[in-house]
Amino acid sequence: MIAEAAVTASLVITGSSTAYHSCDGSTTQTASGRTVQVGYVANNSLRLGTWVEMRRPRTVMGRRWFKVMDRGGPGFVLDFWAPSCGWMNTWGRRSVSFRAVPRTELFKGRPIGGWRVVAAKRGGKLVWRPR
């Protein structure tokens, strides 16, 4: 386990990843209380709501940004929510590299509610788009 205080913008974490999906068709609620969706990831070391950036060239499902919204069992660093059972089985267990993005860098002093993840050539980027 990695202590949250040790995770900084310069620390790139490499570890095992898995994928999960409710193949029986039931909806799954995350540890944060929200229903699972693409872009959510489970991690036991980082605070719920922390954004993680996948390191190049790896993208997952065409995305580079994920939000920690769930907890999981031991044996992995990141557990991605999969959109289908087939995708989950194809993913299996893989090595991934990522970094936890500090709030100061992520939001750059702007209110949290205005930031959106939009599609980009390399899987997505955060842009300021207030409602």
Pick from 69, 60, 62, 5: which is nearest to 37 by CA? Answer: 69
pLDDT at 81: 87
State the pLDDT confidence band at 19, using cuts at 50, 70 and 90.
confident
Instruction: Kindly report the pTM of this predicted structure.
Output: 0.69
pLDDT > 70 in the chain, percent: 67
What are the tens digits of pLDDT across the range 59-88?
A: 677 778 888 989 887 767 899 988 888 888
How far is 77 from 98, CA to CA, in rounded Å? Answer: 10
Instruction: Let me know if 74 is exposed, middle or buried by CB neighbors in 10 A (0-12, 13-18, 19+).
Output: exposed
Rounded Cα–Cα distance for residues 75 and 110 (Å):
36
